[in-house]
A and B are shown apart, each in its own frame.
Chain A
């Protein structure tokens, strides 16, 4: 300011700053700035992989956002500074107001001067006969008020009764603001002295390290004990939706098994100040056996043994299968749109990526069982293929044959062999049928299997589809040993109890603040020559409307009490 009268001393300006910090305007601005800043982090997904961000925003904006810390914004220096400001502001506000409020609560004057009385919005007046007893008036006034505190004073011949209710209303303010401070301190303690991280333990395995995000990097921390996962089980509703995720865990401390317990979501385990929560689950590296159906026409079936998260390479062709995931069940709604839901388990599936020299890489979800349609018809084995690797691009491909039945594969090749030795240019239908009959005898002898007609349909179908497959062999799921990993979250939070204490104080404080207004009533009685004047006035700091109603009702009652019965 240009016209500042004099240089303020350092301590004075510090004092001024301190006062400004506790001002209501700053509080409002701070609350709104915090609210607006918080929005950013909800719109921008937090703590995703840096590659995703780079792809999403391009190099320039990625750099801008990153330097502002927006990818983990609730822990950036500027957001924490805002919270710090809030704490300072709260402290300043309490510092300035608490002594004043305490003093107000302790001392209360029974008297009220004429000017203040005149200024009150709610006031009524009686003029009574001079022989009326002042004591009885005051007695009647008190009798009408339940749960009020009274203070009776006589000064200069004027009789005052002051009634108070909710005298500790101001305690509400104090506790609400103090509670916010406590909660923020508790939050700081949680961040400073606590930890929270994830641990993925395969069934039968054990671990003692948690991983968590620090800024945008992953950090690890060793626990003072080991956790072994004995089993992980999923229970289902009759509808097929998951009902319960349950891990059976054993805590191993110093090489000794100290505790074995089940945990489910919403019901954690507690050991040595650390809570262990059921957070997620996934495949814990199941053993997978593939049957490799060769496409060279020989009818050979190869085999590959690997496990989830591992790769297997065929030495001859250089084709690599990388197993990404395995699911022991696939519950899908088989009903079309508008139809009544019909959940069905399609059986186990495995997801793998297949690559090789001269091959387009593809992501494939292969089902162990053939596809059975709603009417119970076996539609043959099937795959879901995504050429981009994106799950949204999966396309269902029926192979025709039911590959879970090796005889059917043999039948297909026998048929192809028979067919190639015939001249089908003359009468295609008859010759094909004949070839199929011979192939049936080749594979099954004289005993025809049940549903061989269906088999014939599938074999014909396979003649169209199988040659289109680009790979030297089709890997199908043959056998598996399923293992889950259980995703645990381990957390220690020394600030938590502080936060709960703060929360309790906050709730109580809010109730006092909103529901226990400080209401004051005065009954001022003056003796004059021509009679007694009685003034009745009221004041409240909250909920004026209800108080006004009460005041008027009270006035009607007092009016009946005060007027001599006629």
Chain B
């Protein structure tokens, strides 16, 4: 059970009732305000400098107005219908958005420490700040993964908190590094600047954020800390891959090819990785399930079992992760189709990437069907979650590495 009733700290009071609701609506207003600026603002949407548009006076005005309207609406609604204050969505969502704002703030602070413009050249990117922060992120995430594994064998509260804490810090480092990278891409030349979701290296960092965040949200709500060893191991494997990518020059900031110069990239790619990241968490839950199943079959005396969530819980956590990932992935695929329709003249071309996205979608679709019918639970579905993630990995990595097609700009060279 959640022990929220026991410790009523300042932070937990911030995330319930009126304050949470007003903040929730303010954030929605902020997002709508920025979108409205992109669509109706006097200078419109500037593909080449959207980051600065958001962070400029103009962005502040549009976003701020939206936030004010949002919070005003929340005050009115809450007065008219006090029962609204008992809703859970706002309270569950706002801490994460707070975190995102903090991330932006940290990135803005870090940006002050960038080398002066005259020392920044496109040809030699070694003096930029983001790579060091990525290195820090790598260390934090690896440390977190190791600590989570250690926690299985020495399940003390300290270990657990250390693992969780470093995972959070890792997310912050990753977010700050990505935002800084966005900023840095503009430092070379305004034309080169672009959102940091344009190549494998960048989306990998993004995927760490999503995977860890989805997992941590589960950990917060369902006390499933033992699962962290599995999820963070997947992240750690990704970290090593990212280091390798950087070592072969994939970590450099490069200008966007014409096909990627579209606002769709900023929507389609992150949405896809919400799906991929959630599927990674489902895989982690599936692995945890299989390990526990094996341990139980061997007599169930292992000490590790004490910290594991029950089989039933792991099964449901895997399902929950898929329930987050599947709609996100579906939406991402639809957005991709919309982009394809706008850029290539057809929403579906049976391009290898598209086809593999369909395959991933079919695999998880079948997973969901199998769960509902047959009462398939447990072992078979745990294997399915693991296998499904392997298919997913092939979709976002293997296709780029081994198959050619319209998504070949994500290719390794």
Chain A residue nearest to B83 in the complex (CB): A146
B369: contacting residue among A31, A45, A242, CB under 8 A: A31
The answer to whether A299 has its CB under 8 Å from any CB of chain B is: no
CB-CB under 8 A from B257, the residues of chain A are: 241-242
Q: Are A43 and B323 in contact (CB under 8 A)?
A: no
A239-B192, A546-B221 given; A277·B345 CB < 8 A: yes
The answer to whether A32 has its CB under 8 Å from any CB of chain B is: yes
Chain B residue nearest to A549 in the complex (CB): B2
The answer to whether B297 has its CB under 8 Å from any CB of chain A is: no
Q: Digitize A195-225: 1 where CB-to-B-CB distance is under 8 Å, 0 elsewhere.
A: 0100000000000000000000000000000
Q: Are A238 and B191 in contact (CB under 8 A)?
A: yes
- Please provide the chain B residues from 241 to 265 with a CB less than 8 Å away from any CB of chain A in the complex: 254-255, 257-259, 261-262, 264
Q: Which of A74, A239, A493 has the most CB of B within 10 A?
A: A239
CB-CB under 8 A from A244, the residues of chain B are: 258, 261
The answer to whether B165 has its CB under 8 Å from any CB of chain A is: no
Q: Are B327 and A545 in contact (CB under 8 A)?
A: no
- Please provide the chain B residues from 315 to 335 with a CB less than 8 Å away from any CB of chain A in the complex: 316-317, 320, 323-324, 326-327, 330-331, 334
Q: Are B346 and A196 in contact (CB under 8 A)?
A: yes
CB distance from B259 to the nearest CB of A (A): 6
CB-CB under 8 A from A13, the residues of chain B are: none
Q: Are B330 and A510 in contact (CB under 8 A)?
A: yes
The answer to whether B104 has its CB under 8 Å from any CB of chain A is: no
Chain B residue nearest to A73 in the complex (CB): B350
CB-CB under 8 A from B240, the residues of chain A are: none
A237-B189, A507-B331 given; A268·B345 CB < 8 A: yes
Q: Which segment, of B54-62, B146-154, B336-344, faces chain A?
A: B336-344
Q: Are B404 and A45 in contact (CB under 8 A)?
A: yes
Q: Are A507 and B366 in contact (CB under 8 A)?
A: no
CB-CB under 8 A from A549, the residues of chain B are: 1-2, 221
A32: contacting residue among B346, B356, B362, CB under 8 A: B362
A42-B352, A277-B345, A506-B334 given; A264·B258 CB < 8 A: yes
- Please provide the chain B residues from 57 to 98 with a CB less than 8 Å away from any CB of chain A in the complex: 83-88
Q: Are B352 and A265 in contact (CB under 8 A)?
A: no
CB-CB under 8 A from A187, the residues of chain B are: 348
The answer to whether B6 has its CB under 8 Å from any CB of chain A is: no
User: For the complex, what is the distance from the CA of A28 to the CA of B359, rounded to whole Å?
Assistant: 13
B316: contacting residue among A264, A503, A545, CB under 8 A: A545
CB-CB under 8 A from A80, the residues of chain B are: none
Q: Are A503 and B334 in contact (CB under 8 A)?
A: yes
Q: Are B258 and A268 in contact (CB under 8 A)?
A: no
User: For the complex, what is the distance from the CA of A239 to the CA of B193, rounded to whole Å?
Assistant: 13
CB distance from A264 to the nearest CB of B (A): 7
Q: Are A266 and B363 in contact (CB under 8 A)?
A: no
CB-CB under 8 A from B86, the residues of chain A are: 146
CB-CB under 8 A from A489, the residues of chain B are: 344-345
Q: Digitize A134-148: 1 where CB-to-B-CB distance is under 8 Å, 0 elsewhere.
A: 000000000000110
B356: contacting residue among A42, A506, A515, CB under 8 A: A42
Chain A residue nearest to B365 in the complex (CB): A31
The answer to whether A105 has its CB under 8 Å from any CB of chain B is: no
- Please provide the chain B residues from 214 to 257 with a CB less than 8 Å away from any CB of chain A in the complex: 221-222, 254-255, 257
The answer to whether B313 has its CB under 8 Å from any CB of chain A is: yes
The answer to whether A544 has its CB under 8 Å from any CB of chain B is: yes
User: For the complex, what is the distance from the CA of A190 to the CA of B350, rounded to whole Å?
Assistant: 14
- Please provide the chain A residues from 336 to 363 with a CB less than 8 Å away from any CB of chain B in the complex: 340-342
A42-B355, A74-B350 given; A275·B122 CB < 8 A: no
A147-B87, A340-B124, A543-B320 given; A266·B373 CB < 8 A: no
User: For the complex, what is the distance from the CA of A489 to the CA of B320, rounded to whole Å?
Assistant: 42
A147-B87, A507-B330 given; A27·B347 CB < 8 A: no
User: For the complex, what is the distance from the CA of A46 to the CA of B403, rounded to whole Å?
Assistant: 11
A243: contacting residue among B191, B324, B366, CB under 8 A: B191
Chain B residue nearest to A275 in the complex (CB): B345
Q: Digitize A264-275: 1 where CB-to-B-CB distance is under 8 Å, 0 elsewhere.
A: 111110000001
The answer to whether B117 has its CB under 8 Å from any CB of chain A is: no
Chain A residue nearest to B86 in the complex (CB): A146
CB distance from A428 to the nearest CB of B (A): 46
Q: How many residues of B contact A (CB 8 A)?
A: 65
The answer to whether B372 has its CB under 8 Å from any CB of chain A is: yes
CB-CB under 8 A from B324, the residues of chain A are: 514
CB-CB under 8 A from A42, the residues of chain B are: 352, 355-356, 399, 403, 405
CB-CB under 8 A from A243, the residues of chain B are: 191, 255, 258, 261
The answer to whether B358 has its CB under 8 Å from any CB of chain A is: yes
The answer to whether A102 has its CB under 8 Å from any CB of chain B is: no
Q: How many residues of A contact B (CB 8 A)?
A: 63
The answer to whether A34 has its CB under 8 Å from any CB of chain B is: yes
A35: contacting residue among B258, B327, B363, B399, CB under 8 A: B363
CB-CB under 8 A from A233, the residues of chain B are: none
User: For the complex, what is the distance from the CA of A556 to the CA of B5, rounded to whole Å?
Assistant: 11
A42-B352, A545-B320 given; A510·B343 CB < 8 A: no
CB-CB under 8 A from B19, the residues of chain A are: none
CB distance from B90 to the nearest CB of A (A): 12
CB-CB under 8 A from B350, the residues of chain A are: 41, 46, 74
The answer to whether B187 has its CB under 8 Å from any CB of chain A is: no
The answer to whether B370 has its CB under 8 Å from any CB of chain A is: yes
- Please provide the chain A residues from 485 to 519 with a CB less than 8 Å away from any CB of chain B in the complex: 489-491, 493, 496, 499-500, 503, 506-507, 510-511, 514-515
The answer to whether A174 has its CB under 8 Å from any CB of chain B is: no
The answer to whether A38 has its CB under 8 Å from any CB of chain B is: yes
CB-CB under 8 A from B192, the residues of chain A are: 237-239
- Please provide the chain A residues from 67 to 88 with a CB less than 8 Å away from any CB of chain B in the complex: 74
CB-CB under 8 A from A39, the residues of chain B are: 355, 359
Q: Are A511 and B347 in contact (CB under 8 A)?
A: no
The answer to whether B123 has its CB under 8 Å from any CB of chain A is: yes
User: For the complex, what is the distance from the CA of A27 to the CA of B326, rounded to whole Å?
Assistant: 17
CB distance from A361 to the nearest CB of B (A): 29
B346: contacting residue among A45, A493, A542, A550, CB under 8 A: A493
User: For the complex, what is the distance from the CA of A27 to the CA of B368, rounded to whole Å?
Assistant: 11
CB distance from A47 to the nearest CB of B (A): 9
CB-CB under 8 A from A190, the residues of chain B are: 346-347
CB-CB under 8 A from A196, the residues of chain B are: 345-346
A38: contacting residue among B124, B359, B366, CB under 8 A: B359
CB-CB under 8 A from A56, the residues of chain B are: none
CB distance from A319 to the nearest CB of B (A): 37
7 contacts between A and B (CB under 8 A): A24-B374, A28-B370, A35-B363, A146-B86, A147-B87, A496-B347, A545-B222
* Additional pairs, 16, CB under 8 Å, beyond known A237-B192, A266-B343, A507-B334: A31-B363, A32-B366, A34-B362, A42-B403, A147-B87, A187-B348, A238-B192, A241-B254, A266-B258, A266-B259, A268-B345, A340-B124, A500-B338, A514-B326, A515-B327, A552-B1
Interface residues of A (CB under 8 A from B): 24-25, 27-28, 31-32, 34-35, 38-39, 41-43, 45-46, 74, 146-147, 187, 190, 196, 237-239, 241-245, 264-268, 275, 277, 279, 340-342, 489-491, 493, 496, 499-500, 503, 506-507, 510-511, 514-515, 542-546, 549-550, 552, 556
Q: Nearest 8 pairs between A and B by C-beta?
A: A24-B373, A491-B345, A146-B83, A35-B362, A42-B352, A510-B327, A31-B366, A146-B86
